[in-house]
Amino acid sequence: MTALTTAFPHPPGPPIPNAHTRDDAVRLGEAVEFVRRQDSAALLSLLLPGLNGLELRAMADRCRFAHAGLLVFPADLPALYAEFAALGLTADDPQPSVVVRDRLAARHRRDAADLDVGILRPAVAGPEGEHRAVEVFALAVPAGSDLADIAGHERERDHEAHLAFEVDRPDPLVLRGMCATFVRHGAVADGGGYNPHEDGTVFYFTAPADSKAGYRRLEIYARGDHRQVLAPHLEDYQQRQPAETLLRLLTGAWTTQALAACAQLRLAEALDTADDVGLEPAVLAETVGADPQNLATLLRYLVMLGVAEEDGGRFRLTGLGTLLRADARGSMRPLALMYGGPFYQSFALLTQAVRTGLTGFEQLYGENHFDYFARHPELAVRFDQSMAASARMFDPLPGHPVIALADSAATPRTVVDIAGGTGELLRCLLTARPNLRGMLLERPHVVESARGAFAAAGLADRCTFRSGDFADVPGGGDVYILSRVLHDWDDEKCEEILRYCADAMPAEADLLIVERLLPADGSPSLATAWDLHMMCNVGGRERRTDHYARLLGSAGLHLVDTAPLPLGASVLHARKQ
């Protein structure tokens, strides 16, 4: 690993092209602009909306807005200095960050000694010329580093993004009063520490739920060693954290049902008709047919989830909430209805599934979900729609393996989508590349739905449809696709499906398998969550890459390579041995 704090002398060299660096540059630029605009008293009132006039004046007299902080992951220090220069910033050599290093180590179960986190504080002038800074925590992640997963996780969640207020003339009484005021108005202790390298003490808080500042975390910074004041702050955090964390996990079912209720009531559609002023619960209740008081309770919970936002008792839909609209591109409304409906009910039998080896779905409904849905057409349609709800997984971006294969041939190539539902992936590919032709193999009732979808997309003349099962995989294709199929089945059935594919594939054909892969190191992943779902509700499982390689080998195929896709998925490329 490259150390930020020791390896790179000034002056910085030219920036190293890197997609992660560009992502960090945008985040850094936004933080700089925020610091330049804010007034300390106004920002305090946004962070703690419950402050009265006297409290606000007392707080503003004792502390000032000092910086906005973020964690970045440059390829090396010269690349970071180049980003600073592009924003008109300069910075001294980094100092070690003990607090952030230890927080990262705890979150990602890594040895703190492997995480060389540095702090840099390039100066930024406030609106009246006040001396401020952007506090940049930096961890070097060179190309190919094993820290790339940490960088991706942290960029997505921005755990270390925060606003900081520095206390003028700190003494124990002032610091205790500041901490008490923050807590009294809804902020929650979120750790902290003393940094001996700069002789400063930091008190971290989670912002109140009604904060309007746009940052989830904030801190009080005091020069000097104030660990005596810090101790009760950390004790409160440590005592609260395990119980609160578990409590939040235990209420996960409430989130599922709140989103399902939003979908069932078509609340997203009603909210999306609101202008910038928003709509009151009474108006929304009349539109969706609900009790106004109970709907207001649901709306407040949806605001907490980020699905809606509230201003003055009126509610609006957010960008996240738009995905619950039935007509949104990549709508996830069918998923909300499935996960809050049949699969939610069968998940109640998870304990029995673990004990008996039988799926919860079969124990509840008396048959597997394929047969049950086939006898309930409305559920069959919803299930097919839920499979298509992951459309973003199939966005044909540059470098997509199927697109690369299609581009490698001047003559038209035929893509065979096996058990591809209504053909969401196949339609994406045919739309992206006119030199492709398609064939969809599916159950009869699904084929009929797919015909309509391809006709509506203007692709009916470039795709043929075949009703059948896995034994009917057609020959003569150039590219064969199994998208989220193998995870439905046990190993024996997977080997059978792969043998059918191998028997049908010409010698030079390619097989692409789209699945979520279980991480080899046990790190958190969507695949781990889906593995539980498949076990309880479907009877299948998610697998690691080496597991799929063994299944392919048993069918006379070999794994060529893998590539990541959106939504936590991957594509495995296989060919005949």
CATH domain 391-576 topology: Rossmann fold (3.40.50)
pLDDT, residue 494, reads 97
| Three-state secondary-structure class, residue 245 | helix
8 Å CB contact between 569 and 393: yes
pLDDT of residue 403: 62
Tell whether the model's pLDDT for residue 390 goes beyond 80: no
The segment with the largest mean pLDDT, out of 96-100, 179-183, 221-225, 553-557, is 553-557
Place of tokens 């960090």: 24
| Farthest CA pair distance, the chain | 80
* Predicted confidence (pLDDT) per residue in 20-55, tens digit: 444 888 999 999 999 999 999 999 999 998 888 888
Triad 202, 204, 208: Cα angle to 5°: 145
How many Å apart are CA 210 and CA 195, to the nearest integer?
A: 31
Report percent pLDDT > 70 for the chain.
90
Tokens (6 digits) for 204: 């971290």
Q: Do 107 and 46 meet the contact criterion of CB atoms below 8 Å apart? A: no
Give pLDDT, residue 119: 93
The overall average pLDDT reported for the chain is 87
Q: What is the pTM of this model?
A: 0.60
- C-alpha 443/C-alpha 466 separation (Å) is 8
Cα separation, 524 vs 540, whole angstroms: 20
Whether omega for the bond prior to residue 232 falls within 30 degrees of 0, making it cis, is no
Please name the amino acid found at residue 315. Answer: F
Average pLDDT value for residue range 379-397: 69
Predicted confidence at residue 14, as pLDDT, reads: 33
Which amino acid, 302? L
Average confidence (pLDDT) over 494-506 = 97
What is the dotted CATH code of the domain comprising 252-328? Answer: 1.10.10.10
Rounded to 5 degrees, what are φ and ψ at 90?
Answer: -135, 155
Residue pLDDT, tens place only, 483-493: 999 999 999 99
pLDDT of residue 265: 97
Distance (Å, whole) CA 527 – CA 568: 7
Side chain identity, residue 189: A
pLDDT class for 18, splitting at 50, 70, 90?
A: very low
CATH classification for the domain delimited by 330-389, as one of 1.10.3470, 1.20.120, 3.30.420, 1.10.287: 1.10.287
CA 297/CA 126 separation, integer angstroms: 40
pLDDT at 278: 84
The CATH code belonging to domain 19-247 is 3.10.180.10
Check: CB of residue 309 under 8 Å from CB of residue 274: no
- Residue-range domain boundaries for the chain: 19-247, 252-328, 330-389, 391-576
Contact indicator for 253, 260 with CB cutoff of 8 Å: no
CB-based contacts of 371: which residues, under 8 Å, 6+ apart?
none
Q: Is 487 a catalytic residue?
A: yes
Q: Contacts by 87-93 with C-beta closer than 8 Å and gap 24+?
A: 87/28, 87/29, 87/32, 89/32, 89/122, 89/123, 89/124, 89/134, 90/122, 90/123, 91/120, 91/121, 91/122, 91/136, 92/120, 93/5, 93/10
| Active-site hit among 162, 487, 547, 573 | 487
pLDDT range class, residue 304, cuts 50, 70, 90: confident
What are the tokens at 164?
Answer: 């900081």
pLDDT at 399: 55
Amino acid 407: pLDDT: 55
Residue 391: what pLDDT? Answer: 55
257-279: b (≥16 Cβ within 10 Å) or e: bbbbbbbebbbbbbbbebeeebb
pLDDT at residue 500 in the model = 97
148 against 524, higher pLDDT: 148
Residue 3 has pLDDT above 60, yes or no: no
pLDDT of 266-290, one tens digit each?
999 999 876 667 899 999 999 999 9
User: 454-482: per-residue pLDDT in tens?
Assistant: 999 999 999 999 999 999 999 999 999 99
SS3 of the chain: helix, strand, coil, percent, to 5: 50, 20, 35
Residue 395: the pLDDT is 60
Structure confidence at residue 240 as a pLDDT band (50, 70, 90): low
Mean local confidence (pLDDT), 370-394: 77
132-188 per-position pLDDT tens digit: 999 999 999 998 888 998 998 899 888 899 999 999 888 888 899 889 999 889 898
Asked if residues 152 and 37 have their Cβ atoms less than 8 Å apart, the reply is no
Question: What is the full DSSP assignment across 453-467?
Answer: HHHHTT-GGGEEEEE
Residue 467 tokens read as: 């009703």
Q: What is the pLDDT of residue 373?
A: 86
Which one-letter amino acid corresponds to residue 454? Answer: F
Predicted confidence at residue 105, as pLDDT, reads 87
Q: Comparing 173 with 410, which gets the higher pLDDT? A: 173
